[in-house]
Amino acid sequence: MMSRGLVKKIGVAGALALALGAGAAAADDIAIGVNMPLTGAFAASGTFVADGARIAADEINARGGVLGKKVRLVIEDNKSNPTEAAAVAEKLIVRDKVPVMMGAWGSSLTLAVMPKLMQYKVPMLVETSSSSKITLQGNPYVFRISAPSSLEAENLAKVLDKFNIKKADFLVINNDWGRGSATDFSAMLKKHGVEVGLVEIMDQSAQDMSAQLSKIKASDADTLFITAAVEQLTLVLKQVEALGLKRQIITTGGSQNPDQLIAQAGKATEGTMHMVFFAPWQPEKSAYPAKSEAFIAAWSKKGFDAAGLTESYRGYDGINVIAAAIEKAGVAEPDAIRKALWDIKAEGLNGPIAFQKAGPEGRESGQSVPATYIGKVVNGKVEVLQ
C-alpha cells in the first residue's frame, strides 16, 4: 500500500503534468478572439459572421495553419449589448490571452470595446461596424475592413442620378450605426441638392413602427432610407405594406440579407433596394470571381442558409486578414500583429483589402475601402444594379 505522502506527491506531480500538458496544447495553436452578437437583436447577423469566420479558420488550418500552428477561434457572445461587448473583450484578452480580436458587429458594440483595446494594447479587426466615429477617435488598435457610412454614402452619390430623388425621409435604429447613417447620408444628399425631410428613430427592440411610418406617410418625400438589422427591417417592410406607404425604399448598412427579407416579408420587399458589400447573386461582378464562387460553394457545402452570404463574408475576410497579419508579423503577439496589419495587401470577397490611415495624426486607425453594390428585389429575386 502506498503511503499517504507518496500518494500526495504523485497527485501533485500528476496535476503538474496535466497543467504542463494543457500549456503545451495551448502553445500548439494561435487563439483569435471573436466578439459577436449571437443572441439578442442582432443574433442572426452575428451568427452568420461567426460561421464565415469558422470556414476561414478551417481552410487556414487545412493549409497548415499560421506559423506552423493551428488557428483556434475563441468565439464569445456579446448579446447585442455594448456593456456585454466590453466585458467579452476584456475576458478574451485577460483570460483567453488572445493577441488579436475580430468584432464586434454593431457600431455601438465596437465603440464600447475600443477603450479596452487601448487599455490592453490589443488590436481588433472591425468586420461590420459603419459608424464614422470608429476610425476618427484616435485608436491605433482599430483596423476596419467594413465601409463607414460616409463611404457608403459617397458610393451612392456616384450613381445618385439613377434614383431621381427629390426629397428623402429616414427611419433608422436608435444607435451609433443608425444615427451615423442618417447623418452621413443626409449630408451627401444635401450636397447634391436633395431635400432631407423627416429623420425618425426606432429602438433596436421595437416591433411596432406604425407611429413613425404614419408620420412618414404624411410627408411629401419620394424616397425612404432605412437603416436596421434584418429582423427589424422585416417588420418595417411588412408595416410599410400594411399602411399603404408608397415610397422608393433604399436600405443602408449592408446587413439586410435581401434573400432573408424576401423569405420573411414576401411581396412587401418587391421593388426595395439594398446597399450591400458582397453580391453572391452575381459573383462574376466581384473583384475576384473565383474566390467568391469558392466561398459560396464552401458555405453551401456546410448546409448554411444562402441568405447569410451577405453577412458571412465579413467573418471570412476578417479571419483571413488576421491570419495574414500574424504570418507577416512572424509571432502571435499584439504589437507585432498591429504593425503587420499596416502592410497587409489581401484579396477580399468585396475587393482588395489594404489599410489607409484615418483619424488624428500619430494615433491613426486603419481603414480599408470595400466595394459597394445595390441589389433590387424584382419578382422575388435580387438583381444587382451596381
The superfamily CATH assigns to domain 25-147+288-367 is Response regulator (3.40.50.2300)
Residue 72 CB neighbour total at 10 angstroms: 16
Give the other-Cβ count within 10 Å of 228's Cβ. 28
Region of residue 326 (left: phi > 0; alpha: psi -120 to 50; beta: else): alpha
- Contact in structure between 275 and 254 (CB atoms under 8 Å): yes
Average confidence (pLDDT) per 10 residues, the chain, 386 residues: 40 41 60 98 95 98 98 98 98 98 96 98 97 95 96 95 97 94 97 98 95 98 96 96 97 86 95 95 94 98 94 97 98 98 97 97 97 94 89
Note the pLDDT of residue 11: 45
What pLDDT score does 386 carry? 67
Range list for CATH 3.40.50.2300 in the chain = 25-147+288-367, 151-276
Q: Which residues contact 112 (CB under 8 A, 6 or more apart)?
A: 82, 83, 85, 86, 104
Distance, CA of 291 to CA of 80 (rounded, Å): 31
* Maximum Cα interatomic distance, the chain, rounded to a whole number of Å: 93
Using CA atoms, how far apart are residues 198 and 260, in angstroms rounded to an integer?
28
pLDDT score of 266? 96
DSSP track, 175-189: SHHHHHHHHHHHHHH
Residue pair 134/146 in contact (Cβ under 8 Å)? The answer is no
**CATH class given for the domain over 151-276:** alpha beta
Q: How far apart are CA 250 and CA 267, in angstroms?
A: 16
